[in-house]
Amino acid sequence: MSSPTLPNHLLPSDGRFGSGPSKVRVESVQHLAASSATVLGTSHRQSTVRNVVGRVRSGIAELFSLPDGYEVLLGNGGSTAFWDAASFGLIERSSQHCVHGEFSSKFAAVVRKAPHLEDPHVIEVAPPGAAVAVPSPTVDAYALIHNETSTGVAVEIRRPADGALTLVDATSAAGGLPVDPNQFDVYYFAPQKCFGGDGGLWLACCSPAAIERIERLAGSDRWRPTFLDLGIALEQSRLDQTYNTPALGTLLLLADELDWMTGNGGLDWTTRRCATSASTVYDWAEAHPFAAPFVTDSALRSNVTMTIDFDATVDATLLAQDLRSNGILDVDPYRKLGRNQLRIAGFPNIDPEDISRLTQAIDWLISQRAS
Ligand SMILES: *Cc1c(COP(=O)(O)O)cnc(C)c1O
């Protein structure tokens, strides 16, 4: 049987529900087009592009209400490159990692391979749980993850202990979940999740203690690849530049998104919007005998990536295919999790009305397949 065709009134206005890359707003693309003749194809060392970088840096500082002394750094390579950069430029000798999914495990794996660092202290908890840091006097950096995109587990960010840096992978959380900047030293992310932009860039909100660590390690004789040198990234960021050529389109999309977020009420507004979408999905799942939130502890359920398990009466792979053939995209679960599941992103760009329509579309498709 080919996929049933959804009636029009059940189609969301936009079919993109992927957890990254995620829905890009059409207005952002129009902003990009409007800037095409004056910004795209021009030098990133001149004021036009540097002003865009400056808008991004100040927009991020405003969105997160960064305290005095915090700075926004950026560079090429996305969050994955930032793990490598952090292994050279932020971890002094010994780090502790809270691992409860694919992304958090990857940073720990980077550190494990670094010959200049001690074996990382890894606290690992199986999905859908969350690892909790254990204060330790021998650790100089704690690696936390705000939203584990692979499982839909989100935690509140709190410093495990004073005297060490708190490094937070916020790739899919930043912009969609509340955070207190006093509770982190580095909050790093990329634009293709909550910010509905394009990939390839990393951004990091850094506390004075993090800046001090970056400057000290950059001044040491530790070898590091120039491309991953956070001392250089700091110098360049302060000039509203990146070390090497950035994707100008990525910067323009992000600058527009930051204007949109702050213009609508900032992080209070975006986080409330995500909370609305999340409760629609979780309430819907809990109201159905064949569905349930994968994250059993409701306090750990993400408001930006919602993972829903199905019982044996529903084939989630077929359901995702049926949705895809109706233009509803990328609700497949994280592949390595291997569950009968859908993962639905509720990033700020995604209209809560569309989330509601998506749940109705799923109901309708399941009833069609059952009959
Ligand atoms: C997507 C993601 C990454 C990887 O980001 P890239 O920009 O593709 O390198 C890292 N951590 C988390 C939590 C993510 O969701």
Q: Is residue 199 in contact with ligand 1, taking CB distance under 6 Å? A: yes
Q: What is the pTM of this model?
A: 0.98
d(CA 205, CA 318): 41
Residue 171 Cβ < 6 Å to ligand 1: yes
- Determine the residue of 22, 74, 79, 254 to mutate for testing ligand 1's pocket, defined as the one with the most ligand atoms within 8 A of the Cβ atom: 79
What is the enclosing helix (H) or strand (E) of 103? helix 102-113
φ, ψ at 107 (rounded to 5°): -65, -45
Whether ligand 1 lies within 6 angstroms of the CB of 22 is answered as no
Strand order in the sheet with 71-76: 71-76, 201-206, 186-189, 165-169, 141-145, 95-99, 121-124
Tens digits of residue pLDDT in 237-286: 999 999 999 999 999 999 999 999 999 999 999 999 999 999 999 999 99
How do residues 66-79 score in pLDDT, each as one tens digit?
Answer: 999 999 999 999 99
Task: Report cis status (omega within 30 of 0) of the bond before 21.
Answer: yes
* Max CA separation in the chain (angstroms): 69
Say what percent of the chain tops pLDDT 90.
99
